[in-house]
A and B are shown apart, each in its own frame.
Chain A
């Protein structure tokens, strides 16, 4: 373990050292002969069980960064290490919940949740039990046989969560997953994600452009700037949990962050 990493905090017993390390990551896109540096000099590490938010305005490269962590894009230079091993391809150890609806429209809620687990176990009974467990974990036991087009946007994102959580990923990557939901559902989903996280202690990297969302969720916020995309600062959110969005310390923190983001 490298000494530069954050010490294990006693207040937050989940944090058990680094799981993900990103070292001088850079991404250049070549379009029609000209090159565009989208990300430059990205350095950070994520501890096990930590909830990290990557906050930035649209076009700052935060989604590109997440795609590289997922393995959908390869870095132009620099490295991404998961448990010390470089990340090359997409894989079930780093699962993504997308902003868009990416459920398979020809599969029911249950079949979507079971999709990734198929072929991993021969034990039919254990398989079924596991699927049922995750169905009820996301509160969709009564919607087992519904098709994605028959359920609401919030429910779809619950299915999207369940189908990756069932694979027990090392890191859960979330790319503005609640951005296209209405405000009330979004808040519900944030609370739901927090309760899942408190029970299952996943490591989560959550990309968002919404300050309130970042302050609600994160242990740490990485604020990104544009052209080229860099991590401008790292802010530890030391508000106690559960955080109430209408309390003065929360509002104060959000406003300060919002002002800094505008600078």
Chain B
């Protein structure tokens, strides 16, 4: 009885654990703002951020600067992240799986992949702007490029580490190549693939902002850039918080939907 109660207390503490650091952070923020330890032109008071966030998200466009832009910006950014990430997935998983299984493909790709991987995304920006102009194409290109590597590398690692006996077992049970790929190889590599996808999606948000810093009219990165020009530090912070929330929610959604769709994601990762 006692143990059970202890356990339930333990469990509820455990459920709160992820929110401990944000809470401490918020508290510190309030304290330094109230005591004026950090001047408000460097870090606005949380209440100011709240007001700016409310204006940005809920008030009607035209009421105030930045009012009501949220839906439009978030929609534009989401489309860019999703298209770039999708392109990275469509290329990254099949290429990764193939190079994980075939030493010749792995050799063929290794120099190119590792050289390209070493180039920081930001150095692609000028070139991408020349190629694709300012706008969605540049952003999607940068996101796809950046998200490709973790997805490719993790899929390859997943395909490579799979127990060869599982594939032999499949072969002896009369499983052909096609079914072997979908029924043995992909589920066997699933934990790695999942890691790659989550890393890739995280990076997508980073490169979204990079792509949108270039003067596109809308998007969460564009808002941050506009706010910088106008000296609206409160809106910058609002933009950062919104990206953090959407990034976290996106990761959760990705994890949940993979678990929903695939037994292997549900039972192994």
Q: Which A residues are within 8 Å of any B CB, using their own CB?
A: 70-72, 89-92, 94-96, 98, 100, 102, 104-107, 115-116, 119, 147, 163-164, 167
Contacts and interface: CB of A to CB of B under 8 A. Distances in A.
A98 B169 contact: yes
Contacts, number: 56
A100 B165 CA distance: 8
B104 interface: no
Interface residues of B, number: 20
Given A119-B179, A147-B267, A104 B166 contact: yes
B163 interface: yes
Contacts of A90: 168, 171-172
Interface of B: 163, 165-166, 168-169, 171-175, 179, 183-184, 187-188, 190, 263-264, 267-268
A256 to B, nearest CB: 36
Contacts of B163: 102
B190 A106 contact: yes
A91 B170 CA distance: 9
Nearest to B173: A116
30 contacts: A70-B168, A70-B172, A71-B171, A71-B172, A72-B168, A72-B171, A90-B168, A90-B172, A91-B174, A92-B172, A92-B173, A92-B174, A94-B172, A96-B169, A98-B169, A100-B165, A102-B166, A102-B168, A102-B169, A104-B184, A104-B187, A104-B188, A105-B267, A106-B188, A106-B190, A106-B263, A106-B268, A115-B173, A116-B175, A167-B173
Contacts of B183: 115
A244 B143 CA distance: 70
Contacts of A164: 172-173
A43 to B, nearest CB: 24
B172 A106 contact: no
Contacts of A71: 171-172
**6 shortest A-B CB distances, which residue pairs?**
A116-B173, A106-B264, A92-B174, A90-B171, A90-B172, A102-B165
A100 B166 CA distance: 10
Given A72-B172, A98-B169, A105-B268, 6 more contacts: A92-B172, A92-B174, A96-B168, A116-B173, A119-B179, A147-B267
Contacts of A98: 165, 169
A153 to B, nearest CB: 16
Contacts of A100: 165
Contacts of B169: 96, 98, 102
A71 B173 CA distance: 12
A240 B187 CA distance: 47
Contacts of A107: 263
Contacts of B175: 116
Contact of A106 (B171, B173, B267): B267
A203 B187 CA distance: 33
Contacts of A119: 179
A16 to B, nearest CB: 24
A130 to B, nearest CB: 14
A111 to B, nearest CB: 8
